[in-house]
Amino acid sequence: MQRRTLGLAVLALALAPATGARAQEIPKKPITLVVGFAAGGAADHAARIVAKKLAENLGTTVVIENKAGAGGNIAHLQVVQGPTDGSTILLGSVGPLAIAPHLTKVGYDPQKDLAPLTMGMNFPNVLVVPASLGPKTYAEFMALAKSKPGQLNYGSTGVASASHLAGELFNAMAGVDIVHIPFKGGAPAMNELLGGRLSAYFATMSTAGPHIASGKLIPLATTGLTRAPFLPDLPTVSEAGLKGFTATNWYAFVASAKVPVPVLDAWNRELVKALKAPEVADELSKAGLLPAPGTRDELARTIASESRTWAKVIADRKITAE
């Protein structure tokens, strides 16, 4: 019995340094979570929900840094060129990670210069118009767009963002000419839409939801291939008449590829833990953002696959950044 007790004690001592080392892989200092869009939009909202849980779990401060501009590309480049100790991570998005490099010079290679941590959330957008525009259904909006080529416009969170490509794909497949107006995030685009200076917007539910509820915005359709759980009675664009149309969105956590692998792995563990926390999952889901945590390899495959998909769409449809 004494030998067994001694053996267990030795084993515990042997494991203690490894456990301690693992706990110290993420720097014990304030963490910066960079967001590529202005405060008040869906990405910012999602980041703040997760940051609160990370701060609680890590026992440190997690500061949100909004670095808006160029559809999120400025923020992504900042993280590529930033600290490599793991103290800075980024809530990336499909635009800069899989779309923008096929449309414009971004100054980085998403698959080489950024390291995947975990998928954060995925979700369809909702096509909304201001109540003042007139149309109450997708069919009525299409009739208006066809009767006024080049006279309607749609907002996006920036050039080469997911909302930009959704609009361009919509133009191409529907045979309409709705002019693109880029902004530095969902919040400023939404302000212009509510002010009647935009005709339409492929919005996130977290940004559009309160205004749909108040009657200021009219939801016409969602952009997935199946109906969205947050608006189950609303048809998809494909159902409403544009068969095969889909333009889903996602946010993912990434870091500089120069961050050591043990630190990247530690971030995966912490982020997955935070995203799986019931209160975090519930709050994200209420905002129409569906948590989708996974492995680093799974995210890498998603980014590569999405990049190929959007590259083909851009080439086939001759979509440009202008």
Residues of the chain with CATH 3.40.190.150: 28-122+249-317
Answer whether 108's CB lies under 8 Å from 80's CB: yes
How far does CA 225 lie from the centroid of its chain? 18
Q: Does the pLDDT of residue 27 top 60, yes or no?
A: yes
Domain 28-122+249-317 has CATH 3.40.190.150: yes
Residues whose CB is less than 8 angstroms from the CB of residue 264 and which lie 6 or more positions away in sequence, other chains included: 86, 115, 117, 255, 296
Q: Which two tokens stand for residue 258?
A: 């120069």
Average pLDDT over residues 281-302: 95
d(CA 281, CA 315): 37
Average pLDDT over residues 239-268: 96
* Domain at 124-240, CATH homologous superfamily: Periplasmic binding protein-like II (3.40.190.10)
What percent of the chain is modeled with pLDDT above 90? Answer: 77
Average pLDDT over residues 48-72: 96
Token pair 């359709």: residue: 221
3-state helix, strand, coil in the chain (%, to 5): 50, 20, 30
Q: Does the pLDDT of residue 158 top 90, yes or no?
A: no
Answer whether 129's CB lies under 8 Å from 135's CB: yes
Residue 259: pLDDT band (50, 70, 90) is very high
CA end-to-end span of the chain? 77
Token pair 């120069």: residue: 258
Strand 126-130 and strand 217-222: the pairing is antiparallel
* Amino acid code (one letter) for 188: P
User: pTM score > 0.95 for this model?
Assistant: no
The whole-number pLDDT of residue 322 equals 64
Average pLDDT over residues 30-36: 97
On average, the pLDDT of the chain sits at 91
Residues of the chain with CATH 3.40.190.10: 124-240
For 4-8, 32-36, 207-211, which range has the lowest pLDDT when averaged over its residues? 4-8
Q: 288 versus 84: which is more confidently predicted?
A: 84
Q: Does the pLDDT of residue 8 top 50, yes or no?
A: no
238-251 confidence digits (pLDDT tens): 999 999 999 989 99
Q: Does the pLDDT of residue 22 top 50, yes or no?
A: no
Question: Dihedral angle at the C-alpha atoms of 49, 267, 118, 113, nearest 10 degrees?
Answer: 120
Residue 23: pLDDT band (50, 70, 90) is very low
Average pLDDT over residues 291-309: 96
Hey, CA dihedral for 54, 58, 60, 65, is it positive or negative?
Answer: negative
Q: Does the pLDDT of residue 2 top 60, yes or no?
A: no
Q: Does the pLDDT of residue 15 top 60, yes or no?
A: no
